[in-house]
Amino acid sequence: MNTANLQLEGMVMALASLCETLADRGVLEHKEIGAALERARSAVEQDDTHQLSEANQAAVLFPIHLLSLANQAHQRGQRFTFSDYAALVGKLT
pLDDT tens-digit series, residues 49-67: 878 899 999 999 999 999 9
Region of poorest pLDDT, from 3-12, 21-30, 34-43: 3-12
The confidence score (pLDDT) of residue 49 equals 86
What pLDDT does residue 9 have?
Answer: 95
Count how many domains the chain has: 1
Break the chain down into helix, strand, coil percent, rounded to 5.
75, 0, 25
Enclosing domain of residue 69: 3-92
